[in-house]
Amino acid sequence: MKLGMFMHPIHDFKRGYHTLLNEDMEVIKCADEVGFDEVWLGEHFALPSEPIQSPLMLMAALIPQTKRIQLCAGVLCLPYQHPAIVAGQVAQFDHMAKGRFMMGIGPGATPPDFEMFKLLDKNRMEMVEESIDCIHYIWTHDPPYKWQGKHWQFEIKDNVMPDIGVGTMGKPYQTPYPPVMIPAMSPNSSSVRLAARRDWTFISANFVPDGVAMGHWKDYCDERKKIGKTPDGSKWRCGRTLLITETDAEAEAYLKTPKNALWWYFHYIVTLMKYGGFHHLLKTDPSMPDDEVTEEYCIRTMVHAGSPKTVAKKIAAFRDQSGPFETLIVSHHDWVPKPLWRRHMELIPSELMPRLRAEIGWKDAAE
């Protein structure tokens, strides 16, 4: 079983843009040092609390500062720009990273970005599919190029001089192109079903109840069955919100601290999802009143907290019910206080994961 980290990243923006950018880079370097296999970094524009406008740019700076961790876009919001721009930039990054890259894609999820890019009334999932098809077309063809889609068009036919390298788009380091991932957060997820049809990886969001994540494996299996394909647990990355401390008491005490990092995280999630009318996705019971969807409720129902032994048993029990995901994705939060969250990151690969592998009978589990 592999281990990843998903960095939206969601921060308390009042801590300062410069501080947050540098902290995010430090977190990724730490993840590489302590043994995480991959890190996923989000893309947002008009959101100071999610301050990464270019995950590729930030991760490019980290290529020489990390040794083994996969640097993954989580996600590139494809409706925001022309597919040819994405194709060119991703191909370059994949070469710079020597294939240490996976390409998360999505429709975006934030109203101010939709307003800015005039996407409020657009079918953004349709745009995602067309964009990735166009990108893959670019990467698997030589000029002349011609793409005539519903949302984008381009061609290069008159200005092609292959002998001197004019008119040809760059291809990625990985052949034929980097693996594709799409995130999922809703019940009966169309994203999961799309991933099943296209043989993509999908990540279940960490900020939804366990029951929603459990349903994603069923959705995936149902769609694979429809097309006559076998479900593959390696394609499922399951996100969960964890707090790992030396003892259960330490975790319990931290969660009682007023406005701690997890409280801020869910304060942002709850506020934004209520504003967008998506807070029903946070409910363990669809009939529960809206005013009961609070930060404390989310922490109580969505956070697996405690010692490595305690949390390993919780995650193993969850996996027994949900399905055979082969990568656990841990969410990232503000490093406040830094010693606690740094130790949390150290304990996950060194203490939690060996116990989890043993709990589920993984073939390479530690004795």
Task: Give per-residue pLDDT as tens, 15-43.
Answer: 999 999 999 999 999 999 999 999 999 99
For the chain, the distance separating the N- and C-terminal CA atoms, rounded to the nearest angstrom, is 15
pLDDT cut 70: percent of the chain above it = 99
Q: Compute the average pLDDT of residues 235-241.
A: 97
Q: Compute the average pLDDT of residues 356-367.
A: 70
pLDDT in tens, 47-93: 999 999 999 999 999 999 999 999 999 999 999 999 999 999 999 99
Q: Minimal CA–CA distance to 8: which of 75, 94, 92, 93?
A: 75
48 Cβ contact list (under 8 Å, min separation 6): 13, 17
Tell me what pLDDT residue 366 has.
35
Bridging pattern class, strands 2-7 and 303-306: unpaired
Tell me what pLDDT residue 57 has.
98
Contact 81, 153 (CB under 8 A): no
pLDDT in tens, 321-345: 999 999 999 999 999 999 999 999 9
CA 206 to chain centre: 9
Contact 199, 228 (CB under 8 A): no
- Using pLDDT thresholds of 50, 70 and 90, give the confidence band for residue 305: very high
pLDDT in tens, 260-283: 999 999 999 999 999 989 899 999
Tell me what pLDDT residue 134 has.
98
Tell me what pLDDT residue 357 has.
96
Considering the segment(s) 2-248+304-359 as one domain, its CATH architecture is: Alpha-Beta Barrel (3.20)
Three-state SS letters, the chain = CEEEEEECCCCCHHHCHHHHHHHHHHHHHHHHHHCCCEEEECCCCCCCCCCCCCHHHHHHHHHHHCCCCEEEEEEEEHHHCCHHHHHHHHHHHHHHCCCCEEEEEECCCCHHHHHHCCCCCCCHHHHHHHHHHHHHHHHHCCCCEEEECCCCEEEECCCCEHHHCECCCCCCCCCCCCCEEEEECCCCCHHHHHHHHHCCEEEECCCCCHHHHHHHHHHHHHHHHHCCCCCCHHHEEEEEEEEECCCHHHHHHHHCCCCCHHHHHHHHHHHHHHHHCCHHHHCCCCCCCHHHCCHHHHHHHHEEEECHHHHHHHHHHHHHHHCCCCEEEEECCCCCCHHHHHHHHHHHHHHHHHHHHHHCCCCCCCC
Contact 251, 305 (CB under 8 A): yes
Q: Compute the average pLDDT of residues 216-222.
A: 97
Cβ-count burial 102-130 (b if 16+ within 10 Å, e if not): bbbbbbbbbeebbeebebeeeebbebbbb
Tell me what pLDDT residue 276 has.
87
Looking at the predicted structure, is the pLDDT value of residue 213 above 90? yes
Tell me what pLDDT residue 337 has.
97
Looking at the predicted structure, is the pLDDT value of residue 364 above 90? no
Q: Minimal CA–CA distance to 332: which of 2, 1, 3, 8?
A: 8
Facing residues of 184 across strands? Answer: 204
pLDDT in tens, 281-299: 999 999 999 999 999 999 9
Q: Give the residue extent of every domain in the chain.
A: 2-248+304-359
Mean pLDDT of the chain: 96
Q: Compute the average pLDDT of residues 301-325.
A: 96
